[in-house]
């Protein structure tokens, strides 16, 4: 419950600060701090300790595969749908960046802990890092840069120099060949603690009521949220049940709840910064977060 209140209060604070002169235009600035400082610190703080105790990784593959399936199926499905329904340019890319990636960390972790218990986090962290986050650093960045008409080598350069991706590589090397240094770990933990408040504040500062006056974008808006919060989690749970009773335990339930989380704040902010239908991206996030606070607990109840 504390996590829900924190998210809603942070969004409300961001919305309120829009009227304060000194905070106008601060949203994109906070986004850059998240991308360059908070998110890399989070990765560097979480990955090395995880690699020292990876006993849950073997049974987490279902959640990791499910998050990658969400990314690619959203991209392919909405690209096809957009062409058939003649949606405006970049709408399918916007939807993919918004609902193809889930809020599997700072919304997902507290939700899972409250619904499934602390043990669920050992699965959720791997799903977040090797699924959602790695997907954003690779597939997500490819989608972003593909819309800028830059060359393939330049796209690869931008992906490989994306600060959170660099942090992921460094964290993996650190976990494999090194270990945690106590004083550095404490510093990284403090920096990574800024990820949730700054991300949500950034969204609150950039969401406008007019973003929900979507006009021709109402259909992709409704279909995207229906797909993310209802249809895809149902598909994943159906597939898990078909594989046998061994997969319907805690790891399977974590997989379903993680793919059913709200849109990922970081991927939405990247879409907004790149100018990829920002009003739709912000509307999906603004509606997806409160709606997921209802649908995720409902899924948890149905999976019992």
In the chain, domain spans: 29-302
52 pLDDT tier (thresholds 50, 70, 90) = low
What pLDDT is attached to residue 172?
A: 80
The more confident residue out of 279 and 31 is 279
> Which residues fall within 8 angstroms of residue 106, CB to CB, at 6 or more apart?
195, 196, 199
For residue 75, CA distances in Å to 99, 181, 228, 266, 288 come to 10, 40, 12, 17, 18
57 pLDDT tier (thresholds 50, 70, 90) = low
Bridge partner residues of 263 (DSSP): 102
Q: What b-and-e string marks burial along 216-251, b requiring 16 or more CB atoms within 10 Å of the CB?
A: ebeebbebbbebbbeebbebbbebbeeeeeebeebb
pLDDT, one tens digit per residue, over 242-279 is 876 556 688 889 999 999 998 998 888 888 888 899 88
What pLDDT is attached to residue 58?
A: 57
0.85 exceeded by pTM: no
**Can you give 108-120 as a three-state secondary structure string?**
HHHHHHHHHCHHH
What pLDDT is attached to residue 261?
A: 93
State mean pLDDT over 130-154: 80
Q: What b-and-e string marks burial along 177-213, b requiring 16 or more CB atoms within 10 Å of the CB?
A: eeeeeeeeeeebeebbebbbbbbbbbbbbbbeeebee
% residues pLDDT > 90 (the chain):
26
What pLDDT is attached to residue 211?
A: 55
pLDDT at residue 54 above 60? no
pLDDT at residue 21 above 70? no
The more confident residue out of 273 and 57 is 273
Spatial contact of 122 and 58, defined as CB atoms under 8 Å apart: no
CATH of 29-302, one of 1.20.1250, 1.10.3470, 1.20.1530, 3.40.190: 1.20.1530
pLDDT, one tens digit per residue, over 74-96 is 999 999 999 999 998 899 999 99
% residues pLDDT > 70 (the chain):
88
């Amino acid at each position: 419950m504390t996590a829900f209140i924190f998210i809603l209060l942070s969004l409300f604070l961001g919305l309120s600060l829009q009227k304060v002169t000194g905070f106008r235009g601060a949203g994109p600035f906070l986004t850059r701090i998240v991308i360059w400082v908070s998110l890399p610190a989070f990765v560097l703080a979480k990955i090395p300790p995880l690699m020292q105790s990876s006993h849950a990784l073997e049974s987490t593959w279902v959640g990791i595969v499910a998050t990658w399936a969400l990314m690619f199926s959203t991209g392919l499905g909405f690209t096809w749908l957009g062409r058939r329904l003649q949606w405006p340019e970049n709408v399918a890319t916007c939807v993919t960046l918004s609902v193809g990636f889930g809020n599997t960390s700072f919304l997902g972790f507290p939700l899972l802990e409250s619904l499934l218990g602390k043990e669920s986090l050992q699965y959720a962290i791997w799903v977040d890092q090797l699924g959602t986050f790695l997907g954003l650093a690779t597939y997500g960045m490819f989608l972003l840069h593909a819309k800028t008409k830059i060359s393939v080598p330049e796209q690869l350069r931008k992906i490989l120099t994306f600060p959170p991706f660099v942090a992921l590589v460094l964290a993996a090397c650190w976990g494999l060949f090194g270990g945690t240094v106590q004083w550095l770990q404490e510093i990284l933990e403090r920096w990574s603690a800024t990820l949730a408040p700054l991300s949500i504040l950034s969204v609150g500062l950039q969401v406008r009521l007019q973003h929900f006056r979507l006009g021709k974008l109402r259909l992709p808006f409704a279909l995207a949220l229906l797909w993310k919060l209802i249809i895809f989690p149902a598909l994943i749970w159906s597939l898990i049940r078909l594989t046998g009773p061994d997969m319907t335990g805690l790891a399977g339930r974590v997989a379903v709840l993680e793919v059913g989380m709200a849109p990922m704040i970081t991927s939405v902010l990247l879409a907004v910064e790149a100018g990829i239908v920002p009003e739709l991206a912000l509307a999906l996030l603004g509606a997806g977060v409160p709606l997921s606070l209802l649908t995720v607990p409902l899924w948890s109840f149905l999976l019992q």
